[in-house]
Amino acid sequence: MSRVSGGRSGAVGQRPGRSGADWPLASGLIAGAVADAILGDPRRGHPVALFGRRMAALEQRVYADRTATGVGYAAGGLLLGAGPLLVAARLTRSSPAGRAVVTAATAWAVLASRSLCEAASQIGAALDAGDLAGARDTLPSLCGRDPQHLDHAQITRAVVESVAENTSDAVVAPLIWGALAGPAGLSAYRAANTLDAMVGHHSPRYERFGRASARVDDVANWMPARVTAMLAAGCSPAVGGRPGPTWQAARHYGPLHPSPNAGWCEAAFAGALGVRLGGALSYSGRTEHRPKLGTGRPPQTSDISRAIRLSRAVTACATALAAGLAAAGPATDRRLAGRC
C-alpha cells in the first residue's frame, strides 16, 4: 500500500519518487541497528533461540532421511519465521508508528553485529594474553570449527574468516531483506539462516534432510554476500586498504570457495586487510581444505581488531543502504498484509 500525494493514484502534480516512500520501515531499520549496537542481543527470551528450540523439537518428530521431508521442514520453518510478522504488518498497516516499532524490535532481535564483534574481541584478547585454552573455549561462540587442536595462527585465521562471513550473514543480509520485504523479510531470513546452521551441513544425518535448508540459505545470501564484498571494498581505507584491489580480490578469489557466498566476503576482507585466508580446517572431525584467498601475509592477532573495525564500518554503510532502499518504495510484507 504505497502512499500517494493527494490520496489519489496518478494525481496531477504528484512529486515523482515520493509515492512509495516507506519512512516507518527505514526509521525502524535504523533504530533496530542502533539498538543492536548499544544493547546487543536480548539477554532473555531471544526470539532466534526460541525459534531454534521449536525447530529442534520439530526435527525430532518429523525427521526422515529423505530430501522431501527436509523440504517440508524448511518450508515450515520459513512459515514460522515470517508468519507472525505478516500478521503484525496487517495489524499495523495503518499505523506508521506501529510499523516503525515492529521493524525496530525485529531488527534488534535479528541483527548480531555487537555480539559478533564482542566474541571476536574476546578471542583476540585471549590470544594477546597467551591464553590459548581460553581462545579455544570461546571460539565455538563464533564459528563451528573444531577448536581442540587449533594453534594461535589457526584460531586467528578462523576469527578473521568468521567475522567476514558473519558480517554478511548477521548484518548485511538481514538488513537487505528487511528493506525489501519489511519485518517479515528480516524474520524469514533469520529463520533460513538458523535452519542452515542447524541442519544444512554435510553429515550422514543431514545430507538429504538438510539439503533444502542449505539451498534456501544459499539463495537468500547470494546478493547480500556480494553487497558485503562491495561495501568492504568501499570501507577498506578504514583499515589501510584500497577499494580497487579489495574488490578485485573478492572477484578473483570469491568464486574459488566451495560456498557460493562465503568466499566473496572472506576474499574481500582478505584484500582489505592485506592478508591471506583459507587453508585446512576441521568441522565435526572432518578435515576440509579451502583455497587460499588473497596474496598477503598470514593474519596476525592485531588483524582481528582490524577485521572488527572493518565489520563495523560495513555495518554502518549497510544500515544506510537498507534505509535508503526502504525509503525508496513500499515493502513486500506491507503489500501482502493488505491482501490478507
Q: Is 2 left (phi over 0), alpha (psi -120 to 50) or beta?
A: beta
Residue with cell 489519489: 8
Of residues 277, 291, 275, the one with CA closest to residue 241: 275
Residue 147 has a pLDDT of 87
Take residue 321 and report the three cell numbers written for it: 543502504
Contacts of 61 (CB under 8 A, 6+ apart): none
Dist CA 245 CA 226 (whole Å): 15
What's residue 13's pLDDT? Answer: 40
Residue 245: how many other CB atoms lie within 10 Å: 16
Grid coordinates representing 323 are 534505509
CB 126 within 8 A of CB 159: no
Q: Is 173 exposed, middle or buried (0-12, 13-18, 19+ CB in 10 A)?
A: buried
Helix H or strand E segment including 278:
strand 277-283
Instruction: Bin 195: left if φ > 0, else alpha if -120 < ψ < 50, else beta.
Output: alpha
- The closest alpha carbon to 178, from 7, 301, 320, 333, belongs to 333
Burial of 122 (0-12, 13-18, 19+ CB in 10 A): middle
- How does DSSP classify residue 14? P
Strand partners, 280: 289
> What CA–CA distance (Å, rounded) separates 77 from 212?
11
Cross-strand bridge partners of residue 275 = 297
Q: Can you give the pTM of this predicted structure?
A: 0.89
- How crowded is residue 182: how many other Cβ atoms within 10 Å of its Cβ? 33
Model pLDDT, residue 16:
42
Per-residue pLDDT 10s for the chain (340 aa) are 333 333 333 333 444 444 457 899 999 999 999 999 999 987 777 899 999 999 999 999 999 999 999 999 999 999 999 999 999 999 998 999 999 999 999 999 999 999 999 999 999 999 999 999 999 999 998 988 888 889 999 999 999 999 999 999 999 999 999 999 999 999 999 999 999 999 998 889 999 999 999 999 999 999 999 999 999 999 999 999 999 999 999 999 999 999 999 999 999 999 999 999 998 777 666 677 889 999 999 999 999 999 999 999 999 999 999 999 999 876 565 555 555 5
DSSP 15: P
- Do you know the residue count of the chain? 340
Query: For the chain, how far is it from start to end, CA to CA, in angstroms?
Result: 13
